[in-house]
Structure 1
């Protein structure tokens, strides 16, 4: 579990420490790609904030605070770029089989917002998550802490691509949680960022774009500021996507604000972030299982904290990979 002390928020934990949350991964063995699902069988109040300029999403309009439906039953994160949105159909099929969904008279309709990231650089790009992959991720879901690194939606993720994919490093998926006054906030984040990943406590670059010889870190922010020209980018070939969940009792408008504040965690741990070539998207879920409310100042601070922690843990858990003639080292390889 996340810490129960306000003074030691750096404990580990996972999004499944939030009561009512289950997580499952599907990782394709044919090439590095996959999907991850966050399931809320009893439904959760939901919000979303899309900050990147090149998003790939589904059902995000549903989550506007001014729109009718305020609860969803799962959130899908997937590789495969826009093709990966197909995996949400498999999540819906699995939830329907479990009797989970919004009552619409003749059936129960599962509501499954989704976001995707671009991982087509690694291996055969015709292999991407589909409905069967989404179904398999649901079959694997549990309340146990999910695996991190090169699994699920993080299987084909790469980071540090400002100066070219050949100088990039391996991304991944990570999770973390914190607890304050009996309320838990957790995050699950798949990091496929254009920028470098930063330790938010020290400001030090952990992983990202490498020097031309590939042996050390280039420090993208400082390189850009001293006039180094970025390599021309293919639009939408990056993106960090994730889910922040809490067991606090919150409204739909508050869920949207939690999603917004979670992006502060991305800004602390990724630089540059929210670029024209990223589709950064964060969802927020409120299960209400704690039966407690907590001020939005504290909830938002917790959301940013666990998001940053999850990004760092994703990168530290990743392992180097070679696919399709491309080698992406991990932190442990440098």
Structure 2
């Protein structure tokens, strides 16, 4: 069951997993937005938070020891903590359709969420709100979603270890892989302090550039040579994403799957899980394959799929207009 193709050769989208839809809202007034991953029939979920500056909603609910078994959507948003408001719009959209956890006379939609920091790009007073989350749901489809500078990846940047003037554009990417009867997919908004690395070659695909802005320098290599990072406020970055499978998993297994997805981030982003990142990955199991998940196999596959989504995010990204001083798109 091993996947021998490098992450750069993995295509597809998280919507290849039956039971998953994705919708973007891209803010026209400044580079920001949000992305919703809909599971209208409900999906078992887990989460793993590894960054030191996370911004999240309803992650405690996903603890295997806690009550609710299924979620109805996951929201990824720009706008820092303000962007969590977009989840309210997702809840409203689901409630209008009678989707949610039975609670007395109501059905309460369960919508965990995570945000990334993009407030330094454009007017920080403009950020995803409830209307943005609702619009993302309206746009959700089972077809492969757009990638790059859309949705939660609109204002994303990478390679910020030496300041925004030497950064490059990040974005949102997705990938999937079918092994036997099981499908695994990932979607990720890449807004990292670190560089994006092709794990097959070790090459910096997008990241901190030299002082002249001509080429990536390799952030970690520069630190090892003695170049000190810029002073950064905690929470100035963050990579957030979702992995999903149609295998039937428990909440505890989903939590482990989210942890395995972080291995994919560690292979493709360097450095990762810093004090200025709030890196968070959710895992979803729709169970549509009707088969139990082999956690050994899934743990081997998921990092490849997540790393592929990271590479696709920056390769599809486009420059910001007007761009912050020095921020460059890939290529």
In structure 2, the residue matched to 1:299 is 298
- Give the corresponding residue for 1:208: 207
**Contact 1:122/1:323 (8 A) holds in 2:** no
1:127 and 2:126 are equivalent in the alignment? yes
Q: 1:233 to 1:5 in 2, by over 3 A?
A: closer
State the number of aligned residues: 329
CA contact (8 A) 2:13 2:176 kept: yes
Contact 1:320 1:327 (C-alpha < 8 Å) held by counterparts: no
**Residues of 1 paired with 2:3 and 2:29: CA distance?**
44
- Asked if the contact 1:244–1:259 (Cα under 8 Å) also holds between the matched residues in 2, the reply is yes
Does residue 246 in structure 1 map to residue 245 in structure 2? yes
User: What whole-Å deviation, never above 9, does each CA across 1:27-61 have from its counterpart, x for those lacking one?
Assistant: 00000000000000110000000000000000000
1:21-40 aligned within 5 A: 21-40=20-39
Q: 2:325 & 2:130 partners in 1: Cα distance?
A: 28
Task: Tell me the CA shift for residue 145 of structure 1.
Answer: 0.1
CA change 1:287–1:154 in 2 (3 A) is: same
In 2, Cα distance between equivalents of 1:212 and 1:221: 16
Which residue number in structure 2 is paired with residue 229 of structure 1?
A: 228
| Distance in 2 of aligned mates of 1:33 and 1:325 | 14
Distance 1:325 1:296 in 2: 43
| RMSD (Å) for aligned C-alpha atoms | 1.3
Displacement of 1:294: 3.0
Q: Which runs of 5+ in 2 are unaligned?
A: none
CA contact under 8 A between 1:183 and 1:247: conserved in structure 2?
yes
2:311 equivalent in structure 1? 312
TM-score (norm 1): 0.96
In 2, are the aligned partners of 1:321 and 1:327 still within 8 Å (CA)?
A: no
Aligned to 2:117: 118
Residues 272 and 124 of structure 1: is their aligned pair in 2 closer, same or farther, counting only changes over 3 Å? same
Are residues 327 and 62 of structure 1, via their aligned partners in 2, closer, same or farther at CA, if it must alter by over 3 Å? same
Q: How much does 1:5 deviate?
A: 8.9
Q: Offset at 1:324?
A: 6.3
Cα 1:165/1:67, change in 2 over 3 Å:
same
Distance 1:167 1:253, change over 3 A: same
2:157 is matched with 158
Provide Cα deviations, 1:255-277, integer angstroms capped at 9, x if missing partner: 00000010000000000000111
Give the structure 2 partner of residue 289 of structure 1: 288
For 2:192 and 2:110, the matched residues in 1 are separated by 27
Deviation of 1:322 after TM superposition, in Å, equals 3.2
Q: How far is the alpha carbon of 1:328 from its aligned partner?
A: 2.1
Write out aligned runs for 1:63-102 (5 A): 63-102=62-101
Provide the secondary structure at the position in 1 that maps to 2:297. helix
Once the two structures are overlaid, the 10-residue window that deviates more, 81-90 or 92-101, is 92-101
Distance 2:144 2:325 in 1: 31
Runs of 4+ in 1 over 6 A off after TM superposition: none
Q: Is the 8 A contact 1:124 1:324 kept in 2?
A: no
Partner of 1:186: 185
Scaled by the length of structure 2, the TM-score of the pair is 0.97
Partners of 1:35 and 1:48 in 2: how far apart? 19
SS in 2 for 1:244: strand
CA distance in 2, matches of 1:242, 1:182: 24
CA distance in 1, matches of 2:181, 2:262: 24
CA contact (8 A) 2:10 2:308 kept: no
Give distance in 1, aligned partners of 2:106 and 2:82. 27
CA distance, structure 2, for counterparts of residue 29 and residue 182 of structure 1: 41
Tell me the CA shift for residue 8 of structure 1.
4.7
